[in-house]
Chains A and B, each alone.
Chain A
Amino acid sequence: MVTRLKEVDAVIIGVGWVGTVLARELTRAGLHVVGLERGPRRAPSEDFTLPGIRDELKYAVRGELFQDPQMETLTLRQASSETALPMRRFGAFLPGDGLGGAGSHWNGMHWRYTPFDLAARSHLTARYGAKAIPEHMPIQDFGVSYEELEPYYDRFEKLCGVSGKAGNLRGRKIAGGNIFEGSRSHDYPNPPLQRSLAGDLFATASAGLGYHPFTAPASNASQAYVNPEGASLGACAYCGHCERFGCEVNAKASPNSTLLPVLFQESRFDLRTHAYVRDLAYDRQARRVTAVRYLDTRSGEEFEQPAGLVILGAYVFSNTLLLRISGIGEPYDPATGQGVVGRNYCYQSGGGVQVFMEDREFNPFMGAGALSVAIDDFNGDNFDHGGLGFFGGALVSAATTGGRPIQTRPLPPGTPRWGREWKAATAKWYNRSFSIGGSGASYPHKDNYLDLDPTYRDALGRPLIRMTYNYRDNDRRLSAYVTDMAAKIARTLNPTHIASAGARQGDFSVIPYQTTHNTGGAVMGTNPKESVVNRYLQSWDAHNLFVIGASAFPQNASYNPTGTVGALSYWAAEAITKTYLKQPQALVDA
């Protein structure tokens, strides 16, 4: 039996970054908002506290804060001709679960996409010719330009108290910042983090080759900060426990630290945790969603929550799943190229090197999730791709995120994995090594997509999302290129050993962790034949439904996605509150 509840102004599915930004903006505009979060309530003051939060086994290895695959997972096949099998454990990526979502346990690497990234097809076509992009790579423009999005990037950075140094302030290039970034209206709200030895060496080495190193922007506050919402962030302690953990000093910006303290005081916001959304009730004739149906996992009760406005702000896979389950939008068919839901699923390419220097002590445990020195000389289209055989680039950096010893014990190639020699090498190298990583773009391929698995089901009885995905030539060539660049930089330091590390070659595997930068499936754009949502993240098929998140990215630029997810959230929120609510209809004609 389903209990039908009283209609509310708006329902938000997923209370992470998207959900909290939208909840704040919609309640500010006077709406009564229900937030549905499938996981438990999490409060930093109770759940992210010393000493227990420093438990690598519980949080980083067993994955206390991540989505439980027993509730919901995905299946994978590397090609459409194969049978997909379930990811019985998460490995390559780690979706979040619980209040704050993945925003509570991210590293805090806080980037903007560049003007190029948001208009990649236009730019590549203009520079390399109309036929330069292969037909099997549906690279697209986002439909919103960097100039349009800039104020919203700025606003999200201020919310998070991002630490960094501008490299392009209103068109003026500033040495020491990232001179390749888009023009900024304001500098970062906090000064850059301190650098680690790895960062110092990388800066010296890359500058020596003529590149342009800068301290990466971090949502790890370099000093105490009060954001425009009045929420207080503490100064980062460089504890080395960001990704996979909650932050006990609230230095890492999260929905829990930056917005939920305000939302808990907001009478128009009704947070419901353990509210697992099953599907959306869709009125095809009226082209609107009428209600959201969810299971209260504590009681087993099912509810139908009618709403005037629905924000689908869950993770990439859940956004795509709920659209498919609810019959909203035409499913993508790779055979014909028709349909849009599930299209342009992208991930991440890249590679890098592990650098061993026997006369250096790196103290890798003194780190922060986004403590990094980077160069953008090989990112985006900042270098000529003529003759390279791939598009896109990589953010090359030396990050010191934490030397947690269950998972971080680099060893030179050829070292035994156990026994006396292993012990001696582990003791020798644990503190004498650092990595240079290239976090690379992932561009769409017509055979990489998401749909519904015909066999495997989740705990609610729904089909799992089936991921048909493999690395493609573009990914492999880009990964090889960036690994070479990292090695070239490392060699100038005259290290004891250099080892290639993590270059995306061969076939995609679910086992080793790579990145949780999954994108696409419900992409934004200017044409309903190529996108699920319009440039305001509004569904082409249901005008009162906005699908917001990295699911909207037509391709994954190299940069970590959260900064752009936050900017798009504010951008969509403003379109809703300033335009849509006055006249609820399609904001863009199909």
Chain B
Amino acid sequence: MVGLTAAAVTSGEAAAQTAGPEAPSSVPAPEPFLALNATEAAFVVAAVNTLVPADDLSPSGADCGLAIYIDRQLAGAYGAGARLYRDGPFLRGKPEHGYQLSLTPKAFFTAGIAAANDWTRKTHGASFDALGEADQIAVLKAFETGAAAFDGLSSADFFALLLGLTYEGFFADPLYGGNRDKAGWKMVGYPGLPAVYRDAIAKFKGRKYPNPPQSIADFS
């Protein structure tokens, strides 16, 4: 808690010092993507906005940082295949065998985006990001069930990866770029850190815990 106070004071001072004519614009510049090209980024932004639409419960997926989260994960160790056994031979297994491809997550994901856009161009006449909301929802449902016949890969497997990364981005600590302003945590009422409940577990038994969420950065 001492660390928290110190950090809060420091950032407050920093803010005071940068106030004035040279203060940064209140509109942040769009964040550049690391792993995804412009077409891929447009797909991901549209997809996370469909999976997590803006409403009373949270801002849109992209405004929650989920596209940036996915991009950063694919650009990092996870996307490059960390903790993934990648020796051959690569055989088709049963569903119970799990992932059996040679591709890294980034390579599979970007191949999936290309196949998805090919499919929507064929079936709806446009890339996914250019479709209207109703079409985007219908298309993602076709991916989810595997009804969309992609060229070369399983639309359901691609969708499962997309949805898994979206969940991660919405609920992981904000330090990874998603869950911006702790939007995911606020939506469900997860208080985050420091998670010291020795007294609270009895005091709030059966009652909603009122404290707003705090993240790793709040204690760093």
* Residues of A bordering B, CB below 8 Å: 50-52, 54-57, 61-63, 66, 68-70, 73, 76, 78, 83, 85-89, 91, 194, 196-197, 200, 235-241, 360-361, 363, 365-366, 403, 405-406, 409, 417-420, 423-424, 426-427, 430-431, 455-457, 507-511
A431 contacts across to B, CB distance below 8 A:
188-189, 208
CA gap between A402 and B166 in the complex, in Å: 21
B window 180-220: CB within 8 A of A = 184-185, 187-198, 200-202, 204-209, 216, 218-220
Distance in angstroms from A477 CB to nearest chain B CB is 20
Give the number of residues in B that approach A within 8 Å (Cβ atoms): 63
CA gap between A507 and B187 in the complex, in Å: 36
B201 pairs with A363, CB closer than 8 A: yes
A87 pairs with B195, CB closer than 8 A: no
B190 pairs with A365, CB closer than 8 A: yes
A419 pairs with B187, CB closer than 8 A: no
Chain B residue with Cβ nearest A68: B83
A418 pairs with B163, CB closer than 8 A: yes
Chain A residue with Cβ nearest B194: A50
Indicate whether A76 sits within 8 Å of B97 (C-beta atoms), given known contacts A57-B172, A197-B206, A236-B198.
yes
Task: Name 20 A/B residue pairs within 8 A (Cβ), A-sorted.
Answer: A50-B219, A51-B218, A52-B216, A54-B192, A68-B83, A69-B83, A69-B84, A86-B87, A88-B86, A89-B98, A196-B201, A235-B198, A239-B194, A363-B201, A366-B200, A405-B171, A406-B167, A418-B163, A419-B51, A430-B188
CA gap between A455 and B87 in the complex, in Å: 10
A417 pairs with B100, CB closer than 8 A: no
4 extra interchain contacts, Cβ-Cβ under 8 A, other than A89-B85, A405-B190, A418-B50? A70-B83, A89-B83, A417-B163, A418-B163
Taken residue by residue from 48 to 84, chain B's Cβ proximity to chain A (1 for < 8 Å, 0 otherwise) reads as 0011110101100000000000000000001000111
A196 pairs with B205, CB closer than 8 A: yes
For A51, give its contact among B82, B99, B194 (CB under 8 Å): B194
Indicate whether A455 sits within 8 Å of B89 (C-beta atoms), given known contacts A236-B198, A427-B188.
yes
Indicate whether A194 sits within 8 Å of B201 (C-beta atoms), given known contacts A54-B194, A405-B185, A418-B140.
yes
For B193, give its contact among A54, A57, A196, A363 (CB under 8 Å): A54
A78 contacts across to B, CB distance below 8 A:
94, 96
For A424, give its contact among B57, B191, B209, B216 (CB under 8 Å): B57
CA gap between A405 and B170 in the complex, in Å: 9
A-B contact count (CB 8 A): 176
A57 pairs with B100, CB closer than 8 A: no
Q: Report, nearest first, the 3 A-B pairs whose CB atoms are least far apart.
A: A509-B96, A51-B219, A430-B188
B206 pairs with A361, CB closer than 8 A: yes
A61 contacts across to B, CB distance below 8 A:
168, 172
Does B14 touch A at the CB level, under 8 Å?
no
B window 112-139: CB within 8 A of A = 137
Does B173 touch A at the CB level, under 8 Å?
yes
CA gap between A507 and B95 in the complex, in Å: 10
Chain B residue with Cβ nearest A470: B96
B50 contacts across to A, CB distance below 8 A:
418-419
Chain B residue with Cβ nearest A200: B205
Distance in angstroms from A296 CB to nearest chain B CB is 22
A238 contacts across to B, CB distance below 8 A:
196-198, 200-201
Indicate whether A70 sits within 8 Å of B219 (C-beta atoms), given known contacts A57-B176, A88-B99.
no
B98 contacts across to A, CB distance below 8 A:
87-89, 91, 509-511
B208 contacts across to A, CB distance below 8 A:
361, 363, 431
Chain B residue with Cβ nearest A364: B190
B87 pairs with A456, CB closer than 8 A: yes
Indicate whether A418 sits within 8 Å of B201 (C-beta atoms), given known contacts A86-B87, A430-B189, A507-B96.
no
B220 contacts across to A, CB distance below 8 A:
51
Does B21 touch A at the CB level, under 8 Å?
no
CA gap between A513 and B35 in the complex, in Å: 29
CA gap between A470 and B41 in the complex, in Å: 42
Chain A residue with Cβ nearest B190: A405
A241 contacts across to B, CB distance below 8 A:
195
A85 pairs with B100, CB closer than 8 A: yes
CA gap between A180 and B85 in the complex, in Å: 44
A83 pairs with B201, CB closer than 8 A: no
B29 contacts across to A, CB distance below 8 A:
none
CA gap between A79 and B168 in the complex, in Å: 35
Does B93 touch A at the CB level, under 8 Å?
yes
B216 pairs with A51, CB closer than 8 A: yes
CA gap between A42 and B5 in the complex, in Å: 29
A406 pairs with B206, CB closer than 8 A: no
B189 contacts across to A, CB distance below 8 A:
427, 430-431
B93 contacts across to A, CB distance below 8 A:
85
Chain A residue with Cβ nearest B200: A366
Distance in angstroms from B9 CB to nearest chain A CB is 17
B198 pairs with A237, CB closer than 8 A: yes
CA gap between A88 and B83 in the complex, in Å: 8
Distance in angstroms from A68 CB to nearest chain B CB is 5
B140 contacts across to A, CB distance below 8 A:
418
Indicate whether A54 sits within 8 Å of B85 (C-beta atoms), given known contacts A61-B168, A418-B163, A427-B57.
no
A366 pairs with B187, CB closer than 8 A: no
